[in-house]
Amino acid sequence: MDKKLESLTAGMRIPYGGNNVAIVSEELAAEFESGDRLIVVQTTGDLLHIPAGVWDISYETVERAHHAFLEMGSVDDDSITKFFKLFADYLSDEERFSAIKASNDEDVRIAKSKGRSTTRLILSKKMRADMVAGLRLWENTPSQRGSAIEEISHDGWKVKLITAGLGAVGFIFEGRPNVFADATGVLRSGNTVVFRIGSDALLTANAIVEHALNPALEESGLPLGSVSLINSAERSAGYAMFSDQRIALAVARGSGPAVAQLGSVAKQSGIPVSLHGTGGAWIVGSSNSDPEMFRSVIYHSLDRKVCNTLNTCCITKEAATDLVPEFLTALSEAAEARGATAKLHITESADPFIPDRWRGTVAIERAEGEVVEPQTEEIEIEEIGFEWEWENSPEVTLVIVESVSEAIALCNSYSPQFVASMVTEDDAEFEAFFDGINAPFVGNGFTRWVDGQYALNRPELGLSNWQYGRLFGRGGVLSGDSIFTIRTLASQETSGITRRS
């Protein structure tokens, strides 16, 4: 007979990873009650507590999404198209959107009172327009459901490989309201979605559900559980969802450590994952870089802080005298465009090339407010891949390298292996860079092009780095119509077919 975990005791030893032990803290022991659940992350020993009430909310929400998926096979493509049209229409409706914007304003107010970053939380006119544009794209994207991708003929019978929906996709993302609309793209390939949004954006999410999403689902004839929000502000709701084996794919995007932890929860539950965590782009300059082009590329890669923003710049030593001034000018101009002051991190190799005017203290805008600190700080080489999550003051790392080959080696060793750019006039040099760099997104100019909707006309669910290895069978952009499986249909055309071996 199965026994349930009823309580925890401070100091209790919990095995993990085969030969390690985690210790239950006094706080966890005091909080844990009968009916709660404990997840032991086998890679780190993290002890994750899921209160019974949170588990129930998650379970019931996944249940709706799972049952909705079982109904999706009987839903025609026109109904899915109608859903995207109506969802876009309702977000465009001023009366409906005013209620959504009021909830977003309250989310922003609360976040600011807690000293939280709000740069990605504010539902601006541009974000709203991008959401609507993304839904219009899905409205006009031809359905691939039921498409035969291959046919194999035999004597008297044949086999077809046919695309089909994967299932209920579990999606966890930070407090960015626009991702809410992007997530619905999985419906185009016959899936359903259940998601948890960061607590900072929960009021906004509920308003979108009430005033735009649910009305669009109902009027288009799609099952209401097709898009389901886990209505809980508790972080543990994400742990609960990613340990529910009815989830066909677990998608997480946000900060690196949080995404890695969520991915571990899903993987040890037997759920495939698509992780979109640590970002930060790298740019490399050499003696073959055009200084004016280099300066422009730096500037346009720092317009705002997102995953594809410039984070680390490597300049070869022989080009440093020419390119470092251009780099610093572009960095200053990017800060001035935001009414702020830039922050620079350097390794020891870059120190001789930094002028005195960059060595004083300045006011840097952080999420918690303005902070006075050194404008330039030295870091160790092992820290050059750290992603600077700046609020308004552009923040980057500069490294001086002996060669482009060293820059490639540093990027492959210390970066999240995400976005890399090489500004060079030498085609052979760029080709060697492309062949040597271990990143899914590579270019020869600014880095902010890395975006599914901007580059591929596909609203994205996330951009995958190669921090945990290359991706099997698809590129680094996860989009709604890239989530599918293959069914095999056999058609017998004559009688009497039998296997003789």
In this structure, are 217 and 169 located in the same domain?
yes
CATH number, residue 306:
3.40.309.10
Closest CA to 407 of 424, 393, 394: 424
Q: Quick one: tokens of 303?
A: 């317009």
pLDDT one-digit tens code per residue, 81-101: 999 999 999 999 999 999 999
Same domain, 262 and 331: no
- Confidence band, pLDDT 50/70/90 cuts, at residue 367: confident
Note whether 33 and 90 are same-domain residues.
Answer: no
Q: Which residue has the higher pLDDT, 261 or 467?
A: 261
In a domain? residue 405: yes
* C-alpha–C-alpha distance, residues 430 and 325, integer Å: 23
Determine contact, residues 95/214, Cβ cutoff 8 Å. no
Residue 295, domain member (yes or no):
yes
Residue with tokens 């999985």: 186
Per residue in 45-80, pLDDT (tens digit) is 999 999 999 999 999 999 999 999 999 999 999 999
Q: Name the token pair of 244.
A: 């529910």
Residues 272 and 310 in one domain: no
Query: Taking the model in full, what pTM does it have?
Result: 0.83
Per-residue confidence band for 181, with pLDDT thresholds at 50, 70 and 90: confident
Asked if the structure places residue 472 within a domain, the reply is no
Backbone conformation region of residue 96, classed left if phi is above 0, alpha if psi is from -120 to 50, else beta: alpha
Tens digit of each residue's pLDDT (9 = 90 or more) over 385-421? 999 999 899 999 999 999 999 999 999 999 999 999 9
Q: Are residues 114 and 137 in the same domain?
A: yes
133 and 150 together in one domain: yes
User: Is 111 part of any domain?
Assistant: yes
Residue 80 and residue 40 share a domain: no
The answer to whether position 424 is within a domain reads: yes
pLDDT of residue 476: 81
Say if residues 456 and 477 touch (Cβ distance below 8 Å).
yes
Residues 291 and 433 in one domain: yes
Residue 467 belongs to a domain: no
> In terms of residue numbers, what domain contains 151?
53-277+477-487
- Is residue 268 domain-shared with residue 394, that is, in the same domain? no
Domain annotation covers residue 138: yes
pLDDT, tens digit, 9 for 90 and up, residues 91-132: 999 999 999 999 999 999 999 998 888 888 899 999 999 899
The pLDDT value given to residue 143: 87
The model's pLDDT over 203-237, given as tens digits with 9 standing for 90+, comes to: 999 999 999 999 999 999 999 899 999 999 999 99
Residue 311 and residue 242 in one domain: no
127 in a domain, yes or no? yes
User: Lowest-confidence range among 94-103, 128-137, 449-458?
Assistant: 449-458
Sheet holding 376-378, edge to edge: 376-378, 343-346, 395-401, 310-316, 281-285, 419-423, 441-443
CA-based radius of gyration for the chain: 25
Q: Are residues 39 and 178 in the same domain?
A: no
Per residue, the 3-state secondary structure of 360-407, as one string, reads: CEEEEEECCEEEEEECEEECCHHHCCCCCCCCCCCEEEEEEECCHHHH
User: Of 413, 484, 437, which is closest to residue 148 (Cα–Cα)?
Assistant: 484
Residue 276: pLDDT above 90?
no
pLDDT digits (tens, 9 = 90+) for 324-343: 999 999 999 999 999 999 99
Count of domains observed in the chain? 3
Domain CATH number, residue 178 = 3.40.605.10
Q: Is the pLDDT of residue 9 over 70?
A: yes
Do 355 and 298 share a structural domain? yes
